[in-house]
Structure 1
Amino acid sequence: MIMIRARSRWLVAGVAAAMLAATTPAASAARDDGRLSWRDCGGQGVVAGMRCAAIEVPADWAEPRGRKITLEVARLPATEPARRIGTVLGISSGYGIQELSRSAADLAELRRRFDLVGFDTRVTHWIARMPEVCKQPGASLHDPRGEKDFAELAAGMKAAFEKCRQADPTGLFAHLDALSVARDTEAIRRALGGERASFMAGGMGGVAAAAYARLFPHRVRAMYVDGVNNQTEGWPAQRLRYLPVLQKMVTRFAGWCADTPACALHGEDAEAVWRRLVRDADRHPIPVTSSRYGEGELTGWLLTSTTIPPDPGPRNAAWLAFADAVDRARRGDGSGFADQALGAASFVAMPGAQVMSCGDDRAYGSYAQLEDYRRKARDLAPEYAGAEITLLGCAGWPLPVANPARPLPTGALPPVLGVGTTWVDQVATESFTRMIPGSVTVAYDGPGHVTYLSGRKCPIRYATAYLTDLELPRPGTVCPAE
């Protein structure tokens, strides 16, 4: 799942901002023989010793001689070349070079024996060239009530998708699915040389990792996944897995508030206050105005679509701000949620943003499917039984789904290592690793998402040992919070 609910500010301020202006390290062109020509990287934030290159791949892999796009690639060579094992190739959902730069210091032990390689996916190519019409929301997202309501929302999004498609200068509109990213990954692996590679994937990069494992299992020496989703079992099923995690998040926040005099809800049942706010806002939406996103209404559904920050933040700043926003909202002032809630709804309704995942079956296929989801959700967490906001953005997708949710053949795959945080993404990651016999998921008992990008030492230590020696930790291994 995209972390709209827990990380809306990151999504809107980070991803949406990147859609307006994308920058990547300078790179060379690929040689004619398909091998990569490495040069020094340019640009800010580049790690010392990093080398950059570029490779051309088809915009549409079904037409390999057709239009091409250029992908940027970066490599941190092994620091002990005489003992080098091979390559660890990162599979990202977007800006893989930034991820490589960000995690380089924490992966220094792994780099002793491996070249570390990252690349900016075709998504970054799309973001940098996206037409303005693709940035305009196609519908006012809400929790549909009835088939007619759902059909009208889908029709609005379909019209917006069609306008975006017609304006697309890249040829990528229909080819941003994870199978296309997986084929790009294989092209890079071939250009790097060798029969097999090891892989790391975090967050939404797990969708492309599963696609790669589906297409090229014999090229996988080892695979480490961190905080990933399991698209193969379907997005509604992943959301249902996450609902108990949301409830625990509320309970955890309420316990903290009870012990923290600085919490604006201290001395009250903070969990009950939150639930009452959600119920009342659905009955009487709170008018809000955002300097960035304009005017709107704060409904209970929209509140539960953005929800409580899963990480209290430095000095509990995120939870303190959330408690203050709840306290003000119950008194009719929803300004503490305005940017977050309206920004999330605007982003998810933006066809240019959703085109990146609609090909991966990220939608309710019908109102009947949405109703089936609601029935199951009510048994797990009634206050979170509304439509999952990220699955509404792909309503009305006008093309066949390129990468439908379906079981992953696992016979040719080696056991994989997964890491998930108990506060956020362990259940999703474990559903991924459970597909592959012999695999293990290590639980990081604390907040956060994608631990290797957060510099969590214990998970990185297990990842390094596994990728180096192909030895998995014992099932049930837990890393304490750092």
Structure 2
Amino acid sequence: MKKTLAILTATAAIAALSPAAPVMAALSATPPVSTPPVSTVAEAERLTWGKCSDKTLPAPTECATIEVPVNWAKPDGKKIRLDLARLPATEPGRRIGSVLEVTGGPGASGIQFVKVAASNLKELGRRFDLVFFQTRTSLWFKSMPKVCLKPGTELQDPRSRKRHTAQTAAMTKAFLACQKADTTGLFAHVDSMSMARDMEAIRAALGEEQLSLLAQSYGGVPSIAYARLFPQRIRALYVDGVINQAAGFNDQGLRVVAAFEKQFQKFVAWCADTPACALHGEDAGAVWRALVREADRKPIPATSPYFGKGEMTGWALRLFAFPAVLPGEGNANWLAFAKSVDKARRGDGSGFGDPVVTGVLSWSSPGVLAMSCGDGRGFADYDDLRTYRRAAEKNRPNLGSVRIEGVACTGWPLKVANPVRPLPSHGLPPILGAGGMSLDVETTRTLTDMIPGSVTVTYEGPGHVLWGMGKKCVIKHLTAYLTDLKLPPPGTTCPAE
């Protein structure tokens, strides 16, 4: 289970994204969003902060729990309790309010960021309580039945309607089996819209009129859902390397693949100039493309520590080998990637086996997919899938590929709870974004460009969740923004650290 979730977190930046659709920039067409009522349970509850059972959390962390409905459409029905953690403002006399961290994954628990925030956000923590919460999806991951972790099928990129229909049917069957075995009710309610309502319940329980939000990675999706539902409750919103659902997963997926394609070209040039590269003296790009073509014709045997023996298709290699095209410290990733490619073309898939085999089978597990599918990440039909494939492969010959969760979620048997929609045209404050040049700045800027007066800071180096990495320049800007609502000038950059 831990291996599965680790792979999901590592691949979230690309696997979270989707098919080819235009950016939704027509904000003026969207009427103001009225705020739905919060459950009377959430309104009545006030948090009782006390000592944390997790002794690894740094002092002076305080902990509490909040009760929320499994199904927000039935507020008097079955309930769950979510853990909360708080780093109280260190200058309470100058306290402004609460900053709620909105984590990614999808489905990670925000509690894991308490230690990082205690170290990296000390200045912000002078005037704010920093609040973290266990997401309902992380609770689901801990409680889901075993059948929900069983892959519905070994997913492929279907090249015909017949194969697409058969694969969709297999995934639908797996989803229904998972739902039937689920005694918590969470399977159908771990979407980002439900998570946004949890966030509003936390705001009410904190007694705050407004929240400042600190969102990163897939946490951008529940933050966008919160902005749709409760725009007037947002004092400020900082987004760090987020996925912009409001632009459509189609648009975001193509942007991500394009960004990694640029990195791949840098790898090819580096290999040509570097004798230590295992493919030096050859066209590394041509070797990779030949490997992918051959693996699609005859999959390469490989092994995953979690799932055991499996096979790697060219499609799977393009999907899950992508982190290796980022150089890493001392170009360590590139050195390892070239060596793995060299071994794989000789029939030894051990260099890629863990991320590729585990990645494919993890993303085939119905319980793991529940949040993604509830957020509308599936292809609408075979024509939608084929259109995206053509767009992805046209100008991205090395890494262009059909998204795995787009294929898997096509079999989702329930109504999409949080479909792709534009943001409200009124009521949102200007927001601050930040992202690394390797990928994140592209997707983050698509969100800030939708909200007048907003700014995205470009970090001139690679990195994902920059505040969590301790990037001082980025942290300086987010602290100034959240504290004084002061945005840096458009075009602001931070040098690589």
Provide TM-score, normalisation by structure 2. Answer: 0.89
State the Cα RMSD in Å.
Answer: 2.1
| In the alignment, structure 1 residue 71 sits paired with structure 2 residue 85 | no
Judge conservation of contact 1:417–1:433 (CA < 8 Å) in 2.
Answer: yes
Distance 2:43 2:386 in 1: 53
1:447 corresponds to which of 448, 452, 462: 462
Single out whichever of 101-110 and 61-70 deviates more from structure 2.
Answer: 101-110
* Residue among 90, 111, 126 paired with 2:101: 90
1:406-435 Cα deviation digits (max 9, x unpaired)? 111131100000111110221111111111
Q: Determine the structure 2 residue equivalent to 1:11.
A: 7
CA distance in 2, matches of 1:48, 1:247: 44
Contact 1:153 1:395 survives alignment (8 Å): no
- 2:50 equivalent among 27, 30, 39: 39
CA distance in 2, matches of 1:185, 1:9: 23
Q: Which amino acid aligns with 1:11?
A: I
- Per the TM alignment, residue 323 of structure 1 is displaced from its structure 2 partner at its CA by 1.5
Structure 2 match to 1:246? 260
Determine if contact 1:220/1:414 at 8 Å carries over to the other structure: yes
Indicate which of 183, 198, 209 corresponds to 1:195.
209
CA contact (8 A) 1:144 1:387 kept: no
What residue is the counterpart of 1:51 in the other structure? 62
What CA deviation, in whole Å up to 9, does each residue of 1:343-377 have, x standing for no partner?
00010000010012211001011001111112222
- Which of 389, 400, 403 pairs up with 2:415? 400
Distance in 1 (CA, whole Å) between partners of 2:214 and 2:49 is 22
Matched, 1:62 2:73: yes
The DSSP-based 3-state class of the residue aligned with 2:301 is strand
Structure 1 position 306, deviation (Å): 0.9
Q: Which residue, out of 356, 369, 372, partners 1:357?
A: 372
Counterpart selection for 2:292 from 274, 278, 298: 278
Whole-angstrom distance in 2 between the partners of 1:13 and 1:180? 21
Question: Once the 2 structures are TM-superposed, how far is the Cα of residue 15 of structure 1 from its aligned partner?
Answer: 9.9
Aligned residue number for residue 147 of structure 2: 133
Contact preservation (8 Å) 1:359, 1:403? yes
Aligned: 1:112 with 2:112: no
Check conservation: 1:8, 1:306, Cα contact below 8 A. no
Q: 1:9-68: per-residue Cα shift (whole Å, max 9, x none)?
A: 94258799xxxxxxxxxxxxx999411000011224301100000000000000011100
Kept in 2, the 8 Å contact 1:136–1:351? The answer is: yes
> Shift of the alpha carbon at 1:295?
2.7
* Residue type at the aligned position of 2:395: L
Percentage identity across paired residues of the two chains: 53
Aligned to 1:367: 382
Q: Distance in 1 between matches of 2:306 and 2:99?
A: 40
Instruction: Give the C-alpha shift of residue 237 in structure 1.
Output: 2.0
Q: Aligned partners of 1:205, 1:342: CA distance in 2, in Å?
A: 26
Q: Counterpart in 2 of 1:313?
A: 328
Comparing 7-16 with 341-350, greater Cα deviation is found at 7-16
- Could you tell which deviates more after superposition, 316-325 or 413-422? 316-325
In structure 1, C-alpha distance between the alignment counterparts of 2:299 and 2:476, rounded to whole Å:
48
Deviations, residues 126-165 of structure 1 (Å, cap 9, x unaligned): 1111100001000111110111111111111110110100
Aligned residues: 463
Distance in 2 between residues matched to 1:45 and 1:444, nearest whole Å: 31
Match of residue 271 from structure 2 = 257
Which residue is equivalent to 2:436?
A: 421
Question: Higher RCO, 1 or 2 (CA under 8 Å, sep at least 6)?
Answer: 2
Q: Residue by residue, what CA displacement relative to the aligned partner does 1:273-319 show, whole Å, maximum 9, x if unpaired?
A: 22232223223332223443233322211110112325433443332
SS at match of 1:90: strand
Change (3 A) 1:45 1:314: farther
Q: Is the 8 A contact 2:69 2:80 kept in 1?
A: yes
Report if the CA contact (8 A) 1:78-1:84 is conserved. Answer: yes
Give secondary structure in 2 for the equivalent of 1:200.
strand
In 2, are the aligned partners of 1:31 and 1:37 still within 8 Å (CA)?
no
**Residue 457 of structure 1 corresponds to which residue in structure 2?**
472
Q: What's 1:226 paired with?
A: 240
Which residue in the other structure is 1:301 paired with?
315
Gap runs ≥5 in structure 1: 1-6, 17-29
Query: Residues 318 and 400 of structure 2 are in contact (CA less than 8 Å); yes or no, is this contact kept in structure 1?
Result: no
